[in-house]
Amino acid sequence: MTSIVAVSSHLPETVPLASLQAQIGLSDVQLRRYERFYGLADVCRDEGATETDLLRRAVGKLAELPGQEHRVRYVLQARTMPSPLPYPLTSLGPLRQELGLEHARSFVVSHHACASGLLAVDMAGMLLAADGDPDALALVLAGEKACTHRTQSIQDVTVMGEGAVAMLVSGRDRGPDRMLGYASRMHPRFHSDFILAGEKAKDFQELYLPALCEVIATALDEAGCSVDELSLVLAHNVNRLSWMGAAKALGIPMEKIFLDLVGEAGHCFCADPFLNLQRASEQGRLRPGDRYLMTSVGLGATFSAMVFEH
């Protein structure tokens, strides 16, 4: 059974969204909408850091890794977009050497866009279970740079942040957070359009809520869990307004949806659910036996949900 053994995160300093208005290309009306209705007040950014720097700072806080490097069989980097670096250059290369993980197989997972973080955890668990070594671990990393105009925001939806996470995953029931169910659904008619506009954008907006509800219901069914049993929803941090509609459709009280980082970090690509897990755990929002839900939606379009027991 796949489980998360440990998680750590790095959130750069925040900057006011208003200071990025011209850079992102927001009108005054859009800026007010983002701040007042979407809850996007600040965004975490580190202009001087590379992607490797962000991941290094997250894994540097993973206290459970030192001394256990020999157990790490795989290193997976979850990315929203394919690596911008030409082969064989990657953000992982320097980290593998620094951490003493040259022996581990490493690769990038980007097939589900912003939902690739959940895919990477599931893949890590399956690979470890197939290996047959009950003590083996995988290191899963997520976090990217918002370094181009197109990657800094999703028009009329959210603004991208540069938070990063590092996780140790087991293919057995060896961690404090064990996966009970996972579901992912792709809607390939949106695959060719990274930036949606016109009828495609309207079509996606109409699909979004029913598709999200469907994949959540499927993950809950696999977990043998009802909506009422959920103690917390660790949402993807797109904006508060979208989650108000989702909460109503799912019958989940808003206080169960963890949105603390929306106005502090922005939407941090694949890292959102795990940033929220680390923050919720710090705040004591999860108790032993609690069941919780993670969600992510990737442009392209992939809808994913994962159920855990703490």
Lowest mean pLDDT among 150-164, 224-238, 244-258, 269-283: 150-164
Summarize pLDDT for 19-53 with one digit per residue, the tens: 999 988 899 999 999 999 999 999 999 999 999 99
Domain range holding 124?
3-170
Distance CA(27)–CA(227), nearest Å, equals 39
Whether 279 and 163 have beta carbons less than 8 Å apart is answered as: no
Residue 88 reports pLDDT greater than 80: no
Given pLDDT bands bounded at 50, 70 and 90, which one contains residue 193?
low
DSSP 176: S
DSSP 77: E
Given pLDDT bands bounded at 50, 70 and 90, which one contains residue 190?
low
Is residue 135 located within the same domain as residue 187? no
Residue 261 reports pLDDT greater than 90: yes
Q: Helical H runs in 155-287?
A: 198-223, 240-250, 262-265, 272-282
The token pair at 150 is 């197109």
Residue 83 reports pLDDT greater than 90: no
Residue 76 dihedral angles phi and psi, to the nearest 5°: -115, 130
Is residue 97 located within the same domain as residue 219? no
Residue 80 reports pLDDT greater than 80: yes
Domain count, the chain: 2
Whose CA is closest to 139, among 199, 81, 56, 209? 56
Question: To the nearest 10°, the Cα dihedral for 236, 239, 290, 78?
Answer: 10
* CATH code of the domain containing 165: 3.40.47.10
Provide the CA 110 distance to its chain's centre, in angstroms: 12
Distance CA(25)–CA(45), nearest Å, equals 17
The token pair at 175 is 């961690």
Higher pLDDT, 99 or 301: 99
Residue 194 reports pLDDT greater than 60: no
Is residue 103 located within the same domain as residue 133? yes
Q: Which of 170, 186, 214 is the last residue of a domain?
A: 170
Summarize pLDDT for 114-159 with one digit per residue, the tens: 999 999 999 999 999 999 899 999 999 999 998 877 788 888 889 9
Distance CA(267)–CA(117), nearest Å, equals 13
Is residue 153 located within the same domain as residue 188? no
- Kindly report the pTM of this predicted structure: 0.94
Is residue 123 located within the same domain as residue 252? no
How many CB atoms neighbour CB 202 within 10 A? 11
